[in-house]
Structure 1
Amino acid sequence: MTDDLLVPAIDVERLTYSFTHDLEPALEDVTLTLHRGSRCLVIGANGAGKSTLLRILAGKRLIKGAKCSIFGHDVFNNLPGGVVYLGTEWSSNPVVRGDIVVSDFLDSVGGYRHKERRDRLLRILDVDVDWHMHQISDGERRRVQLCMGLMGHWDVLLLDEVTVDLDVLVRADLIEFLVEESKIRNATILYATHIFDGLSSFPTHICHLQLGTALPLLPWPLAIPSGDASTAETDRDPDSLFHLALEWLREDRNLRRGRDSARGKHRGPKAETTNARTFFEKYDYAH
């Protein structure tokens, strides 16, 4: 990893990505630059490309013709150390659902080398090291994943919806830990989520990923125009982040509906057809 503190922690320039050549791009002309110590929330509708962007940054998808780097290193060919990606697909891996004790599981990935941080995370995440992985709930399994991923000294953290299974208390304690890590160690966090309660004090920036395109990065809290009392009052509202996300998502839905309409497509119910009735009568699972 370079020692040049001026090199961005995350640097994406004009990234366009399609899963196959015949599909519309999942990401189109995305540009995003974050410096060390930044904590950025990625906000966007389902299918906006949030998970795809995070997986690309984690070096899990090959890209061509775009700059996508962490600390100046190409993310696919030369991903630097200190990058941790935590996504939802982890919990569906059969290995993590096997009959293995949590303490053994953590030791198998080097927990004994990070005892102090591991033990602190075990307390924050309220994990019982005597749990058996195949006997615990999805939320408890998620806590083990977070402990496993965060106990090392990471420099860039990529989080994709991994707090969705956590209860409110554990999630709040985890967010406090992440903010502290970012401030003390100058670590950078890119966090995609649909849950905004309790997050107003977390981000330094917010990124609106709109139908695969990243709109300009905004600092958080938003700048308040001088003398605008109503805006100032809204910004002090702990739910202001939620309301901003809600406004953006409504805007995204209207934009997507307009595009779909222009292409002769739409979501929702369609007119009843004879074929549908025939299919239902043939496969009536209620009887």
Structure 2
Amino acid sequence: MASPTIKVNALTFAFPDGSTGLSQIALDLPAGSRTLLIGANGAGKTTLLRLLSGKRMAPAATISIAGLDPFATGLEGVTYLGLEWVLNPIVRADIAVPELLKSVGGDYYPDRRDALVRILDVDLKWRLHAVSDGERRRVQLCMGLLRPWKVLLLDEITVDLDLLSRHEFLQFLRRETEARECTVVYATHILDNLAAWPTHLVHMSQGEVRKWGAMGEFAVPEAGEGGVEGNSRLGQLVLGWLREDLRERGPRRGQGEGKTYESFEGKGGYGAETKG
């Protein structure tokens, strides 16, 4: 693979039902960058990541990964990791961790395998049917990162990890981008201890990119401006963005003043509630 740049040009994407998923997305992320993809639920982050990974077909000439269309060419070296893995019944079966790691090339990359097992604190005696979702997530990350990748796309993948495991994992990714030519895009809502990690930010709202660029291009609030909420500087910046998004979007349907809400089970379920 050539230099792992990510370029998106005038990308508009509609779902099969005709609804718009993304509108006029434009990005240019350099090789070696670590990008945080920020936005409220439903902003379009997952749709964008799946298009970048080639799991969905984008309109021609709108996405370029290392100079190639990821859907048309089925690029080697592009890894996408999302939340759906732990829902797969296979990973809840009585399977040993060494067997899973061997199935994805663990014997070919023993040093990398051993490093990931140590960094993610994976117990090689685990059997997947008898561990927690967080422990399954660690195994998924070991499997997904075992083969050296050039572009890594992460969709809320650290949500099940404890603080230490998440920290060690993100430091591993940082070292990867500093030691070899590779690129990371990470969608997350968890911003704790991330202020020094990204090189770039992308802010999405309602299927559009509202802001993007290198970290130095953003006016990050001073440390003391988090006030009594005690937010990090990065957290305070993103919190402001999300508040702007909510004001622009307005209330969801059914949230009008004085609206009566019926439960999903009908009047005999949770009952009705009047808001206002």
Normalised by the size of structure 1, how large is the TM-score?
0.85
Q: State the alpha-carbon separation in 1 of the partners of residues 150 and 265 from structure 2.
A: 58
Shift of residue 280, structure 1, vs aligned partner: 2.2
1:12/1:32 contact within 8 Å kept: yes
Pick from 160, 165, 171: which aligns with 1:176? 171
SS at match of 1:14: strand
Query: Residues 1-287 of structure 1 correspond to what in structure 2 (within 5 A)?
Result: 1-2=1-2, 5=3, 9-23=5-19, 25-222=20-217, 231=222, 239-257=232-250, 265-267=253-255, 271-272=259-260, 279-281=266-268
Q: How many percent of aligned residue pairs carry the same amino acid?
A: 46
Check the 8 A contact 1:70/1:79 in 2, yes or no.
Answer: no
Question: Quick one: structure 1 residues 79 and 9, their matched pair in 2 at CA, closer, same or farther if it must change by over 3 Å?
Answer: farther
Shift in alpha-carbon separation, 1:16–1:266, aligned structure 2, 3 A: farther
Counterpart position of 2:274 = none
SS in 1 for 2:111: helix
Q: Which amino acid aligns with 1:272?
A: T
| Deviation for aligned residue 1:215 | 2.4
Q: How many pairs were matched up?
A: 268
1:57-106 alpha-carbon deviations (Å, 9 max, x no partner)? 11111222451121011011113211111100111111111110011011
Closer, same or farther in 2 for the Cα pair 1:134/1:68, shift >3 Å?
same
Report the TM-score, using the length of structure 2 for normalisation.
Answer: 0.89
List gaps (5 residues or longer) in structure 1: none
1-structure distance, mates of 2:264, 2:67: 58
Secondary structure of 1:77 counterpart: helix
State the 1:26 CA deviation. Answer: 1.3
Distance 2:248 2:61 in 1: 26
> How many Å apart are 1:218 and its aligned residue?
2.1
CA contact (8 A) 1:16 1:66 kept: no
- SS of 1:76's partner is helix
Partner of 1:118: helix, strand, or coil?
A: helix
